[in-house]
Amino acid sequence: MSTTTARPGTTDTAALRTGSRPKRHYGTHIFLTVMAVMWLIPLGWSLYTALRPVASTNQYGYFSFAGDFNFGNFAQAWTQGGFATYFWNSVIITVPAVLLTLFLASLMAFAVSRVSWKFNVTLLIMFTAGNLLPPQVLAAPLFEMAKHFEVPYSFSDSGNMLNTYIIVIAVNTAFQMGFCTFVLSNYMKALSADLTEAALVDGAGIWRQYREIIMPLCRPAFAALGTLQVIFIYNDYFWPLIFIQSGNRLPITTAINNLQGEFLSNYNLLAAGAVITVIPTLVIYLLLQRQFVAGLTLGSSKG
């Protein structure tokens, strides 16, 4: 009587192969597709409206494809709105604010995540809790502080901190530090403690550990946070409008007001101005897209 012996593990392997097909998340894909289309519709409609002359819109209506398409609205919006000056103002505000925010937040995150002392959790909670305050609540106190903070007239033509770029940079830095500290501290906690311990044995001080070990490893997180901070601060409309009273120092988010007519508004021109303001942040995101995604996902599975 002959018996046939199956190879050990053959059936299990086949079963595993049969049951290892990845699940197709159709619901998730449909949901993400719908959300992406909903987010892109306003941008696409603004671009479509900006490419149409107002004469074509008046003749055929906004919901039509007839008429001419050109870049005349963009050229008119750029010159009439003074976008060159306002864009440079945004650069003066955004670049120092982002660099200061990332630098100060990295120092604080390093202190609460890589240095053992009894106020780690307390300080982290304080910095995080600051984000729970709505900015509008602090608008009046901050305005009064800037108004009564006297400086030489050679520094400010108002004799105080109002109507200066510095007050806008300082307030944006203060409000964004809590979020950046929270993200960077969690990212630094995910890094192996053996790195800094080995450096400490080799005689590296705290500043050298921060500068030469932790900072290079945090580049993906800095790229992700830098992209977000540029978008947040560049698009900020509230704080510049409160602290800056001179029209030639306002950022680009306020330049669209110059395109408003006294009795009639050209919405094609306004759409062109809105698209112009979006282009810099869109370019920055596309350039740093890979680092942005890496910074958000690396270390997400570690405690």
Question: How far apart are the C-alpha atoms of 292 and 294, rounded to whole Å?
Answer: 5
Check residue 302 and give its pLDDT.
Answer: 46
Domains and their CATH numbers in the chain: 43-298 (1.10.3720.10)
CB 108 within 8 A of CB 127: yes
The answer for residues whose C-beta is within 8 angstroms of residue 81's C-beta and 6 or more apart is 255, 256, 258, 259, 273
Question: pTM for the complete prediction?
Answer: 0.81
| Identity at 231, one-letter amino acid code | I
Digit-by-digit pLDDT tens for the chain (303 residues) are 445 454 554 444 544 455 555 667 788 889 989 998 998 898 888 899 999 988 888 888 878 888 788 898 999 999 988 899 999 999 999 999 999 999 999 999 988 888 777 777 787 888 778 778 888 888 999 999 999 988 888 788 878 899 899 999 999 999 999 889 988 988 888 888 787 778 778 777 788 888 888 888 888 889 888 888 998 999 988 999 899 887 788 898 888 888 876 666 788 888 999 999 988 888 888 887 777 776 666 545 444
CB 239 within 8 A of CB 171: yes
150 pairs with which residues across the strands? 160
Token look-up 């593990």 returns: 9
